Amino acid sequence: MERLLNELKVWGCDVEGAMERFLEDEELYYSCLEMLVEDEELKRLGEELEEGETEEAFDCAHTLKGVIGNMGLTPMFEIIVRIVEPLRTGRIENLEPVYEELVEAKDYLKGLLDRE
């Protein structure tokens, strides 16, 4: 677990803040990370963006923003904010490349977890 937490720090994550929110329970944090990389909400966000469903895409993105933020995953948080804010104002165009960045970041996180 220590290796993973160190790699998350190197990636730019706020591990200390996340550990405070998780009451220093590293096992709980790890299991939440695993749930995040397997969660279907990210896939659903991509589908809603592709279909042009602004409100539904906003709901997905806003949920993900909260989860990602609470987990201290700063690199992913910075990307999801770039999706949430345009959707908040009803703009959906040109978000696919940003969504792809988010998927790549999730895949990177999954790779870190797979090495644990």
Asked whether the beta carbons of 72 and 15 are under 8 A apart, the reply is yes
31-68: per-residue pLDDT in tens? 999 999 998 999 999 999 999 999 999 999 999 999 99
Cβ–Cβ < 8 Å for 112, 6: no
Q: Exposed (0-12), middle (13-18) or buried (19+): which is 28, by Cβ within 10 Å?
A: exposed
| Residue 20 clears pLDDT 80, i.e. is over it | yes
What pLDDT does 116 receive?
Answer: 72
102: containing domain: 2-114
Domain tally, the chain: 1
Which percentage of the chain shows pLDDT scores above 70? 100
Q: Where residue 79 sits, what CATH number does that domain have?
A: 1.20.120.160
Mean pLDDT of 1-19: 95
